Structures are given as C-alpha cells and as structure tokens.
Amino acid sequence: MTDPNSWSPNQTGNRKSPAAAREWGYGLYVSFLLQHSELAPLASKVIAGERLSESEALQLFETRDLNALGSLADLANQRRNGNRASYIINRYLNYSNYCILSCQFCAFSRKRRDADGFELTAEQMVVKAREALALGITELHIVGGLHPTLPFSYYTGFLKSLKALDSRLQLKCFTAIEILHLAWLAKKSVRDTLSELRDAGLESLTGGGAEIFRKEVRSQIARGKESAEEYLDVHRTWHSLGGRSTCTMLYGHVESLADRVHHLSLLRKLQDETHGFTGFIPLPYQPDNNGIPVEHAPTGFDQLRTLAVARLFLDNFDHLTAYWVGMGLKMAQVALSYGADDLHGTIVEEHIFHMAGAQSPQLQTERDLVKAIREAGRIPVQRNTFYEPIRIWGDSETVGSGAPVPA
C-alpha cells in the first residue's frame, strides 16, 4: 500500500494543516483496512489521485468487500467535500402525466383515455409554487410526460409566470427527451429551443431520462425514447450555452454491471468535455406497475456499492446524491459514508417513483434532513440548485418545524 505520508496534502516537514492531518489520519485507517483486501491495488491508485479504468470500475462493482469499498469512496468524498453533506428545500411539480411514449419501465405516464391522467394549467402551477415559496423553497423541479397537444407557448408561459413570483426562485426543469419534444413542437433546433427556454426562466436541466445508455438495454426498457447520443447531445448543447445540469442512471433492472460502467464512462467523458454537470444521481429501479419482469428493487448492498463506485469512477464530478425517494431516508443516510455528499431535497409531492412502488414518504421536512445528516456525523448544508451553500448549520442551531407545503 501507498504510505499515507506520501499523499497527505499541504505538508511541510512533519507539520500538517488540520485538514491535511485529518486526511492523513483517515488515509492510515483506509490503508489498514485495505492492506489485505482485493481492492488494495485500486486503493493505491485512488489514494494517488490516478484515474480508474472501466475494467477497474467493473472490479469495484464485483467486489464483496463492501466495507472496504465504502471506506475508499468515503475518503474520495471527504477529499472533495470535507465533512459536509447538503440538501435543498425544493418542490416537485409534474405539469402532466399524459405522454405519447410507452416506456416499459414507466408507471407514471397515461394516455388521454385513462381516468387518472392529469395536466395543470399555468395558474394551478403558480398556486402550488406560491404556497411552497411561503415555506422557504429555493427551487422548483419540474418534469412531465411528452404531452400530445400542449403548444410550445404553454411551456415558456409557465416558466415566465413562475419566475415572476420571485426572481430568486430557481427553475430546474425538463429531461433531455422533453427538450427534444419541445424542439419538435417549436420547429426549432435544440440550441434555439434551449435558448428560448432559458430566456423564459429555465436555469437548470434535470438529469432524468438517462436510464441506461447501452442500446440493447435501452430498447428493452424504453423503446422509442431518445438514444444515449441524443441525451448526451442535449446536455452538451445546454452546457455550451453556459447552462448546468445534473445526470442520472437508472439501475437494478435488466442491465449488467458492465452496462453500468459503460453508462458512467459516457457521463465522465462528457464531463471532461464540458464540465457542465453539477452532480450525479443514481436512481434505484422501482419494479411495480410496469412492464419489466423484475421482482425486487435493488438491495441495500447494491445501492451502496453503486454510489461508492460512482464516487470513485466519476472523478470529475463534485457531488453525488443519495436519492432518498428511491432508497428511503435511512439508507440514504448510510450512503453518506459510502461516497454520497447530498440527500436531495424536501420534494413535497413526488409522483414518478411512488407510482412505481416506492414506499418512502412523499416528502421530507428540512428538520428531518438536517437530523439525518447530523446523525451520520456530517455538517448539514442547505444548498441551491447548483450545489452552492446557502446556509451551513452549526452544532447548536435547531431547525423550525419545517412543515411541508400541502399538496
């Protein structure tokens, strides 16, 4: 194993800064933990700051030594983010679940003939947003189905209406496939469509819709959806306009571990090119009410190893979110020791995962999120859409009631 003294930063002789001393001490612990592990050679590369290959990422996925893997991911995370873990006070808005596609994994979409389909007017969205603003949200997270009849002006209209409520409200909206649909509606290029949406108030793209990039898997779970190349090109174009976005991976269905590595590799390559992704959010598949023959959601073991491998392989990403909606808050809390540094947000009204069988609550209060972060031994940080800190909580500070906005 590499001697931690050889990689501890900011050293002068035997004197170290407090941060360097903590890393040095943690490095000793990781070295001890891994010295007899099959991961020892890869640990040496991580400690030395060397990039892992795809074959090495696959080796990490295949290990059964979850404790060693988690400790290595935790080291990589603390190097980048220190002892902080973040959350955002946000609200989800789904403007409609009518969709022209019929993705096999999706339990959210409906056709016009379905009794439980819905669409919101701009006025209804404003009412929900105003209620949420009164309780302190800083972000609206807005996605929906590919609606068969709503015009492009509907989308620019609700963006302008929502932004008019409070100029500080950050609008994180639309998946890549929605952008392609809106470009078709507007009869414009993707670049011009994104520019017009940005002028209307769009500040960040969501990362949804990535699923798994491998063509053979994509055709099994999301036939007719955009290709991996189209997904990546939408984000590339948005980044070239100065925009930022998140990205995702839906895992735990019919894909192989090699498919996951391929997916992560394409995201890492685009991040090398644009540096436009703010964070990565692995999404554990929810198996209910859809057409994919998978009986169970990913196990806790699988969830933690996926987060840990992502932290180690995506060495050009600052932030990694443990999505409590899919994992449950307790598992997401554990994930803060397996490479994650963010718990996502208050959310308030989540439909997509819950219609697919997620058993987590519809929302979390700010108090719950701060408590979970503190119990994990981390410093809670309220962030904005771009993972920039709004408030860093001191040990003695308490959170108010954090009551959620009514749905």
- Are residue 153 and residue 255 in the same domain, yes or no? yes
What are the DSSP E strand ranges found in 252-341?
277-284, 319-320
Q: Would you state the pLDDT for residue 360?
A: 40
Surface-to-core class of residue 164, CB atoms within 10 Å of its CB (0-12 exposed, 13-18 middle, 19+ buried): exposed
Distance CA 400, CA 365 (A): 10
Q: Would you state the pLDDT for residue 109?
A: 56
Distance CA 306, CA 260 (A): 9
- Are residue 30 and residue 141 in the same domain, yes or no? no
43, part of any domain: yes
Q: Would you state the pLDDT for residue 51?
A: 97
- Are residue 231 and residue 277 in the same domain, yes or no? yes
169, part of any domain: yes
73, part of any domain: no
**For residue 229, how many other CB atoms are within 10 A of its CB?**
12
Query: Residue 388 to residues 225, 279, 338: CA-CA distances in angstroms?
Result: 32, 12, 22
Q: Would you state the pLDDT for residue 103?
A: 53
- Are residue 245 and residue 138 in the same domain, yes or no? yes
Q: Can you give 209-259 as a three-state secondary structure string?
A: CCCCCCHHHHHHHCCCCCCHHHHHHHHHHHHHCCCEEEEEEEECCCCCHHH
37 lies in which domain range?
Answer: 4-66
- Are residue 302 and residue 219 in the same domain, yes or no? yes
> What is the CATH classification number for the domain harbouring 250?
3.20.20.70
**For residue 301, how many other CB atoms are within 10 A of its CB?**
10
- Counting every residue written for the chain, the total comes to 407
Q: Would you state the pLDDT for residue 406?
A: 37
330, part of any domain: yes
Q: Which residues of 184-205 are buried (b: 16+ CB within 10 A; e: fewer)?
A: ebbeeebeebbbbbbebbbbbb
403, part of any domain: no
Q: What is the pTM of this model?
A: 0.86
Distance CA 130, CA 162 (A): 9
Report CA torsion sign: 43, 48, 51, 53: negative
Q: Which residues have C-beta within 8 Å of that of residue 157, sequence separation ≥ 6?
A: 122, 200
Q: What is the DSSP-derived secondary structure letter of residue 328?
A: -
79, part of any domain: no
Report the largest interatomic distance among the alpha carbons of the chain, rounded to a whole angstrom: 74
CA atoms within 13 A on the CB side of 32: 6
**SS3 category, 50:** coil
Domain count, the chain: 2
299, part of any domain: yes
- Are residue 195 and residue 263 in the same domain, yes or no? yes
One digit per residue, the tens of pLDDT, for the chain of length 407 reads 344 333 333 333 344 555 555 555 566 566 666 666 789 889 989 988 899 999 999 999 999 999 999 999 999 999 999 999 999 999 999 988 877 655 555 555 566 666 667 689 999 999 999 998 988 999 999 998 787 889 999 999 999 999 999 989 999 999 999 999 999 999 999 999 999 999 999 999 999 999 999 999 998 888 778 899 999 999 999 999 999 999 999 999 999 999 999 999 999 999 999 999 999 999 999 876 566 777 788 999 999 999 999 999 999 999 999 999 889 999 999 999 999 999 999 877 544 433 433 344 447 889 999 999 999 999 999 999 999 999 999 887 877 644 343 33
Q: Would you state the pLDDT for residue 287?
A: 78
Q: Would you state the pLDDT for residue 352?
A: 43
- Are residue 309 and residue 383 in the same domain, yes or no? yes
Residue with tokens 């009794």: 115
- Are residue 336 and residue 223 in the same domain, yes or no? yes
- Are residue 61 and residue 130 in the same domain, yes or no? no
Which token pair is 244? Answer: 């930022």
- Are residue 332 and residue 383 in the same domain, yes or no? yes
What are the DSSP E strand ranges found in 121-226?
139-143, 170-173, 204-205
- Are residue 114 and residue 208 in the same domain, yes or no? yes
